[in-house]
């Protein structure tokens, strides 16, 4: 074969080789990696933004809107590689005071500046020649119609944190989620799904064309209806106007639905949902009145004499006393080397059990507690679930506390406690600490003869009614409850009863006053009641911090009961 032929063969082979290399590369680009390169190309001229969904509304039991949304403005940054200096200039034009570094880091993941007002948007539009790489869109911003009165129930929303995203991979940077209250507990239903909108831009990020690809519509969240009665909450707020702090619980005994869950002082849910500054947040957190504390489900108080009906139930169930057991009260009781006083210094004289409840006689219940016995009293606290959480469908509930023998041993040592400790426990003082919600539950169980649907605030999700998952039960003979309810009726309706001045000629109800010892100032006042007496439908429990005596706050419960049955 000649040299010329060899050269031609080599050249031809090289051409064929290069052809197949190019063909293979073309196949790789056009077929194998088509989507990857198409995506890269589109990123150079196509910009997508998330279309926010509307969070589901929160309504009260009668359809009154508690949480809705208002329109807000957002600026979407279309430019890739936005510089920090450019962001700083843009914020100066808008007049928005915020931390540039933290916002810049956020914009690298989610290029949106949210919830600007009309003036800020106008300033930016006037400078569009300097900042051509943005579009203005509307976003739904959470809005509460009763931002203070119902703040602890509805809770509030806020932007998701990195820690929350790590716990839940379905959350997206920049998304708004529930932070407290119903907003947090039922966030999975109130959340919707983002939509997507596309823009065609040039290399500088300047808009060329809107919607070159049809937008994907967002899916809005579901509406939630609560058992809460908003007008009743507002009425309670008016009754609590003269008091600095406290809580009120109104419970439907028949359904377990919470009609009112009031806590004072409160905070502005709209202020928090709109994005509160660090300075204001610190002021709120450090406030000595603790406005962020939901006292109804997270405040712990010695129940005082409101616990005496429970102690009476323990004694009757254990056979330690009967309805007709009589003890004498000279105004004090001597046990060991200590004299235990009655709140009524002259003494109540001889009383049977219903009369002891009527007059709230401490001396009677000292002796009743001794009849039960310290060890048995502790066991009955556990048996009837006096401690622990109620299990309401709200975040942040604090478990009520009752001691057991191991707690006493750890706290006081093996010889640091004894039979005398039951005297304090029997009158609701000492180590027992209950939330107002728990006191309401105990009252409801007595009123309903030991059967109560699990308390809840949810009534329905969209058109699907909520059905309580379980029922709270006390396996106690109805005759026991009859005796206790009789005594509670006498508290309100018989002369000498500690709440006789608060009796009603509109609705016959029964109740129990209480005074909660407070080492930091004036005692707290408590009153818990059920109505009507002959067919209990609701429970009202009132706690007023530094209110001194339960009889002082019993009129609040009376007015709530009358208003409800009107």
Residue ranges per domain, the chain? Answer: 49-211+221-226, 230-267+299-565
Which of the four CATH numbers 3.40.30.10, 1.20.1440.230, 3.90.1310.10, 2.40.10.330 does domain 49-211+221-226 have?
A: 3.90.1310.10
* Nearest-5° Cα angle at 70, 67 to 75: 135
HSE (CB half, 13 Å, CA atoms) of 216? 8
Report which DSSP code applies to 36: H
409-438 tens-digit pLDDT: 988 887 778 888 999 999 998 899 999 999
Q: What is the model's pLDDT at position 37?
A: 46
Maximum Cα–Cα distance for the chain, whole Å? 138
State the pLDDT at residue 24.
Answer: 64
Q: Are 488 and 444 in contact (CB under 8 A)?
A: no
Q: Give the bridge partners for 49, in sequence order.
A: 197
Q: What is the structure's pLDDT at 204? A: 67
Cis peptide before 227 (omega within 30 of 0): no
Q: Residue 472 has what pLDDT? A: 95
Cα separation of 369 and 383, whole Å? 17
pLDDT at 41: 47
Place of tokens 């206790």: 484
Measured torsion, CA atoms of residues 184, 185, 189, 191, in degrees rounded to the nearest 10: 10
The verdict on whether omega for the bond into residue 517 sits within 30 degrees of 0, i.e. cis, is no
For the whole model, what pTM was predicted? Answer: 0.87
Collapsing DSSP to helix, strand or coil, 561 comes out as helix
All residues at 6 or more sequence positions from 14 whose CB lies less than 8 Å from its CB, including other chains: none
* Neighbouring residues of 516: CB distance < 8 A, sequence distance ≥ 6: 301, 302, 303, 304, 428, 523, 524, 525, 526, 543
DSSP state of 30: I
The rounded Cα 143 to chain-centroid distance in angstroms is 17
Strand partners, 177: 158
- CA atoms of 305 and 161, how far apart (whole Å): 45
Residue pair 291/284 in contact (Cβ under 8 Å)? The answer is: yes
Q: Are 216 and 524 in contact (CB under 8 A)?
A: no
Question: Cα–Cα distances in Å, from 95 out to 87, 104, 116, 275?
Answer: 12, 16, 10, 16
CA distance 247 to 300: 11
Q: Running along the chain, 566 residues long, what does each successive block of 10 average in pLDDT?
A: 68 70 64 55 67 95 96 83 81 79 78 82 82 82 95 94 89 90 97 88 72 88 97 97 95 97 95 79 88 95 96 96 96 91 94 97 96 95 94 95 91 83 92 96 97 96 88 94 97 95 95 85 91 97 88 94 94
Residue 202 to residue 47: CA distance in whole angstroms: 10
pLDDT of amino acid 30: 64
- Strand extents, DSSP E, 154-206: 157-159, 176-178, 195-201
Helices (H) and strands (E) in the chain, counts: 22, 23
Tell me which residue of 230, 300, 261, 268 sits closest to 457, measured CA to CA.
261
The rounded distance, in Å, linking the Cα atoms of 188 and 98 is 30
Q: What is the mean pLDDT of the chain?
A: 89
Residue 299's SS3 state is coil
Q: Would you state the pLDDT for residue 124?
A: 81
C-alpha dist (Å) from residue 336 to 70, 344, 369, 376, 405: 67, 21, 15, 20, 21
Judge whether 49-211+221-226 and 230-267+299-565 match in fold: no
Cα–Cα distance, 360 to 308 (Å, whole number): 8
Instruction: Give domain 230-267+299-565's CATH number out of 3.20.20.105, 2.40.160.40, 3.20.20.450, 3.40.710.10.
Output: 3.40.710.10
Please tell me the predicted confidence (pLDDT) of residue 265. Answer: 96
């Amino acid at each position: 074969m000649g040299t010329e032929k060899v050269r031609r063969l080599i050249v031809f082979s090289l051409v064929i080789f290069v052809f197949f290399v190019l063909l293979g590369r073309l196949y790789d680009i056009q077929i194998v990696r088509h989507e990857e390169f198409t995506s890269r190309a589109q990123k150079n001229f196509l910009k997508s933004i998330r279309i926010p969904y509307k969070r589901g509304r929160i309504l009260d039991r009668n359809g009154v809107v508690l949480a809705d949304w208002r329109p807000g403005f957002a600026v979407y940054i279309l430019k890739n590689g936005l510089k920090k200096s450019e962001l700083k200039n843009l914020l100066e034009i808008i007049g928005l005071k915020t931390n540039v570094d933290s916002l810049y880091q956020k914009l690298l993941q989610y290029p949106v500046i949210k919830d600007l007002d009309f003036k800020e948007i106008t300033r930016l539009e006037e400078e569009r020649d300097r900042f051509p790489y943005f579009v203005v869109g509307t976003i739904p911003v959470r809005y509460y119609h009763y931002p203070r009165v119902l703040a602890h129930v509805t809770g509030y929303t806020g932007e998701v944190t990195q820690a929350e995203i790590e716990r839940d991979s379905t959350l997206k940077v920049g998304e708004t989620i529930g932070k407290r209250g119903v907003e947090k507990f039922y966030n999975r239903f109130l959340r919707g799904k983002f939509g997507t909108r596309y823009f065609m831009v040039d290399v500088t990020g300047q808009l060329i064309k809107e919607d070159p690809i049809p937008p994907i519509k967002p899916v809005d969240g579901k509406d939630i209806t609560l058992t809460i009665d908003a007008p009743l909450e507002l009425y309670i707020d008016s009754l609590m106007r003269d008091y600095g702090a406290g809580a009120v619980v109104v419970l439907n005994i028949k359904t377990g639905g919470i009609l009112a869950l009031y806590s004072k002082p409160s905070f502005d849910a709209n202020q928090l949902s709109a994005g509160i500054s660090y300075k204001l947040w610190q002021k709120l957190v450090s406030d000595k009145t603790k406005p962020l504390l939901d006292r109804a489900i997270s405040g712990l108080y010695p129940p005082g004499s409101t616990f005496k009906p429970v102690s009476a139930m323990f004694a009757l169930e254990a056979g330690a006393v009967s309805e007709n057991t009589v003890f004498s009260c000279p105004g004090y009781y001597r046990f060991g080397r200590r004299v235990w006083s009655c709140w009524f210094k002259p003494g109540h004289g001889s009383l049977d059990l219903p009369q002891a409840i009527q007059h709230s006689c401490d001396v009677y219940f000292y002796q009743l507690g001794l009849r039960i016995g310290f060890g048995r009293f502790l066991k009955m606290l556990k048996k009837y679930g006096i401690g622990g959480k109620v299990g309401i469908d709200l975040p942040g509930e604090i478990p009520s506390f009752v001691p057991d023998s191991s707690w006493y041993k750890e706290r006081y040592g093996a010889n640091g406690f004894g039979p005398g400790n039951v005297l304090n426990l029997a009158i609701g003082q000492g180590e027992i600490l209950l939330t107002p919600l728990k006191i309401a539950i105990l009252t409801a169980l007595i009123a309903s003869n030991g059967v109560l649907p699990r308390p809840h605030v949810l009534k329905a999700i969209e058109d699907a009614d909520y059905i309580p998952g379980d029922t709270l039960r006390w396996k106690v003979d109805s005759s026991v409850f009859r005796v206790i309810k009789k005594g509670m009726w006498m508290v309100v309706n018989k002369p000498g009863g500690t709440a006789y001045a608060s009796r009603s000629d509109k609705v016959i109800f029964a109740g129990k006053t209480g005074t909660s010892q407070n080492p930091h100032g004036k005692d707290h006042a408590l009153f818990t009641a059920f109505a009507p007496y002959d067919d209990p439908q609701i429970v009202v429990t009132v706690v007023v911090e530094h209110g001194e005596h339960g009889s002082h706050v019993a009129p609040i419960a009376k007015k709530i009961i009358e208003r409800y049955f009107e």
